[in-house]
Structure 1
């Protein structure tokens, strides 16, 4: 491109930047304070605060470099893929967040594998082992029926029921995918589990951030109050 063409083009771009900059700044200011959680996740948390639902939690993050040994004994944690340092911390933190948000938890059941039991203890404080949340080497139809019955039995209580399980078991029973630490929320309609949505493992902390932001005055409010 010739020089005499470049100079007018550059001038036009600079003029466009000058005209649009105040508008962009104004839009950014109007958007604050912003919400970290999606509306759907916020609604799920609000429903859980009322109790009566079922949380299906996939165990927290694990040390993928140390896989399960073949045919390990359930009580032998040294032969299993266990929580990583991050998974241990996340489970503790998410449990603290849940209590801060006043989400009532009643019955807590977990697969009798070490990583699920540890996740449940760190998040909820106490847990009962439940073989139907493990389902290893069992008929998929039985796994599906047993798991879904646990959801039916757990819904409608004054508090929420928590079931801590594995991806394979969850997928057989309900389809879909849960990342490590994710929580699927269910209710029961006409005696059948009904999926409401997923709260991602990293979303709980965003709930605290949003609650903190809402409790503080905006810059404009603080200026008006002075």
Structure 2
């Protein structure tokens, strides 16, 4: 009986190891596709403590928003280091207009960050979620495919509506390009 338990646990351990190795291989393949412009990184901004927006919130005023903490700034820098370690030294970066998302993109130090309203947090206007997601899809479908990696920095609610799932701050999905009706997630990553 005891030998059966040992065998069962050994088998479970082996399966977990095989699954882990498969995830690593899939992540490496996904990063290569990102590097070659065959995929995009859709990521949630780095750590900005709190939730929602302050009462005096104004999109163009960073002091009136939730901003990256020092830890969040370091996370954004780590994203850049992580991507560079995988041969991604430059990227086309689009970001929500919220300061925490813009700062995440800038601190990655991979290229100019372009503001894209379709990536803005839909939490303030949830009735616009479907229209804004459709706008993002149209934008991505009209974007010419290049060999330059594409990075989008957005917010949890937007990402959930666009691709499904729930990303924590500082996580991202690598999604296959060209974009399909249901985005094909190649990997879930964080630095």
Smaller-chain TM-score range? 0.7 to 0.9
The answer to whether structure 1 residue 77 and structure 2 residue 62 are counterparts is yes
The answer to whether structure 1 residue 182 and structure 2 residue 171 are counterparts is yes
Q: Which has the higher contact order (CA 8 A, sep 6+)?
A: 2
Q: Match of 2:43, SS? A: strand
Q: Match of 1:38, SS? A: helix
Structure 1 residues 106, 38: closer, same or farther in 2, change over 3 A?
closer
Larger Rg belongs to: 1
Gaps of 5+ in 1: 1-15, 25-30, 205-226
The answer to whether structure 1 residue 92 and structure 2 residue 77 are counterparts is yes
Task: Please report the TM-score for the alignment, with normalisation by the length of structure 1.
Answer: 0.65
Report if the CA contact (8 A) 1:108-1:161 is conserved: yes
Report if the CA contact (8 A) 2:38-2:177 is conserved: no
Q: Which of 19, 28, 43 is the equivalent residue of 1:42?
A: 28
Report if the CA contact (8 A) 1:152-1:193 is conserved: no
Query: In the alignment, what sits opposite 1:7?
Result: none
Structure 1 residues 98, 155: closer, same or farther in 2, change over 3 A?
farther
Q: Which of 90, 100, 103 is the equivalent residue of 1:118?
A: 103
Query: In the alignment, what sits opposite 1:170?
Result: 159
Q: Which of 131, 144, 147 is the equivalent residue of 2:136?
A: 147
Task: Please report the TM-score for the alignment, with normalisation by the length of structure 2.
Answer: 0.76
Q: CA deviation at 1:198?
A: 3.4
Q: Match of 1:75, SS? A: coil
Q: Which of 64, 68, 72 is the equivalent residue of 2:53?
A: 68
Report if the CA contact (8 A) 1:54-1:185 is conserved: yes
The alignment's C-alpha RMSD in Å is 3.0
Distance in 2, Cα, partners of 1:67 & 1:190: 30
Distance in 2, Cα, partners of 1:108 & 1:183: 14
Gaps of 5+ in 2: 11-16
Report if the CA contact (8 A) 2:163-2:183 is conserved: no
The answer to whether structure 1 residue 128 and structure 2 residue 114 are counterparts is yes
The answer to whether structure 1 residue 52 and structure 2 residue 38 are counterparts is yes
Distance in 2, Cα, partners of 1:190 & 1:166: 19
